[in-house]
Structure 1
Amino acid sequence: MSAEAVAAFRHRFAPARADDALTLLLLHGTGGDENDLLELGRALDGRAALLSPRGQVDEQGANRWFRRLAEGVFDTDDLIARTDQLAAFATGAAAHYRLDPSRLVAVGFSNGANIAAALLLRHPHLLRAAVLFAAMAPLDDPPRGDLSGVGVFLSAGRTDPIAPPEQAELLAEQLVDRGAAVELRWHPGGHGIERRGLAQATAWLGKLRTATSTDPLP
């Protein structure tokens, strides 16, 4: 079953460059592919293993993780099904590549950040942490999972027209309400990854890496 789950997603894998390294599950934005966030992954953590799948939804030639009915209006049924498929891929890939599943960190931008948030909310024991750029709250009524011990870094733009500030605030509230340790950092820009946000995420991830190498993981 795990082999089928891994084969279901076209993906790239780069082994870790150090023992006890994190694994970054890289989730691209709309129109991206499995190559898009490799450079970002290396910038965030030069020692981590990189696992970068491609979204399976084709929206007029653009790769996405799940269908939407309009800009900012998600197909919830499809989102749930695709989230569960991605969770199976991540679990299978950890076994296939002999990765420590307790050191799996999702890194997502835009549509990729949205499905990473859905992974947190639907599969609360899958991820150790997540770094989300320009994310929205993907589920109106997410399940009441326990995210204690899970860290989440959110980078959001005050003038983002696609993922407006109230969406980042709602997502942060949902995650905190389920026990996650959330750090929400704002930048003045729009829908993108800004230099300051990248530096903040890198520093945050460095602290997480240090903590996971010295303390037992949940």
Structure 2
Amino acid sequence: MTSTLPVTTDSFVHVARPARGVDTTLLLLHGTGGDERDLLPLGEQLLPGAALLSPRGNVSERGMPRFFRRHAEGVLDQKDLALRTTELATWLPLALEAHALPTGRVIATGFSNGANIAASQLLRGLPGLHGAVLLSPMLPFEPDVPPALPGVRVFIGAGRNDPLVPVPQVERLAALLQSAGADVTVHWTAGGHGITPDEFEAARAWMAGWVD
């Protein structure tokens, strides 16, 4: 796998915390305006004892960190999305090795913009992820060539009243992942673009059922 961006372990400002008895790494991917510490509390509660690897997005939108550029709300810069997805996927194994984090089960856990770049990595068939928790994701793009995702597990949490992401987009994302061979669980809430308590509890139960 190659990238037009030079990638080293320092390519992302990040926080890494070692595993404490759970042979799993959660790759925590914040939403727009978040940073490398934003999802640490969520990761700690989602799977206690797992290693945490949390990078800060390298793109700034009016001073707000993001993982890739967009032209407007819901209109993604597809060239930058492809570039930044490859950058993140290339960086991931370097960071795991540098911090001696578990590599056998790496689960991306992202909210909004972070969920979208995780979905982009899966839809491109780039290696490194064994599963994902996608919270308030959109469909980042339609792949020309369907990826092969056998053995990959995905939890999607979405709100039926999300003003930013229409329900059919989430359904299309789930269908694409399923057609690629992934085991997909979709949890709907009556909420909007955010993480509700019942959504979090559903994701935690999904995670525990897999890891146990």
- TM (norm. structure 1) is 0.92
Deviation at 1:123, TM superposition (A): 3.4
Q: Partners of 2:173 and 2:41 in 1: how far apart?
A: 26
Which letter maps to 1:9? F
Q: Partners of 1:82 and 1:89 in 2: how far apart?
A: 10
SS of 2:90 mapped into structure 1: helix
Corresponding residue for 2:113? 111
Runs of at least 5 residues in structure 1 that lack an aligned partner in the other structure: 211-218
Mapped contact 1:5–1:85 kept (Cα < 8 A): no
SS of 1:58 mapped into structure 2: strand
Q: CA RMSD in A?
A: 1.5
Match runs of 1:168-179 below 5 Å? 168-179=170-181
Runs of at least 5 residues in structure 2 that lack an aligned partner in the other structure: none
Corresponding residue for 2:130? 128
Deviation at 1:125, TM superposition (A): 3.1
Deviation at 1:21, TM superposition (A): 1.9
Q: Partners of 2:166 and 2:11 in 1: how far apart?
A: 33
Q: Percent identity?
A: 48
Mapped contact 1:24–1:49 kept (Cα < 8 A): yes
Corresponding residue for 1:11? 14
Corresponding residue for 1:42? 44
Which letter maps to 1:5? T
Q: Partners of 1:118 and 1:5 in 2: how far apart?
A: 21
Q: More displaced, 189-198 or 133-142?
A: 133-142
Match runs of 1:178-193 below 5 Å? 178-193=180-195
Mapped contact 1:104–1:127 kept (Cα < 8 A): yes
Q: Partners of 1:111 and 1:5 in 2: how far apart?
A: 22
Q: Partners of 2:193 and 2:67 in 1: how far apart?
A: 18
**CA 33–13 in structure 1, closer or farther in 2 if over 3 Å, else same:** same
- TM (norm. structure 2) is 0.94
Mapped contact 2:124–2:143 kept (Cα < 8 A): no
Corresponding residue for 2:72? 70
Deviation at 1:119, TM superposition (A): 1.1
Which letter maps to 1:34? E
Q: Partners of 2:96 and 2:66 in 1: how far apart?
A: 23
Q: Partners of 2:18 and 2:153 in 1: how far apart?
A: 23
Q: Partners of 1:47 and 1:181 in 2: how far apart?
A: 24
Q: Write 1 or 2 for the structure with the bigger share of helix.
A: 1
Q: Partners of 1:100 and 1:207 in 2: how far apart?
A: 19
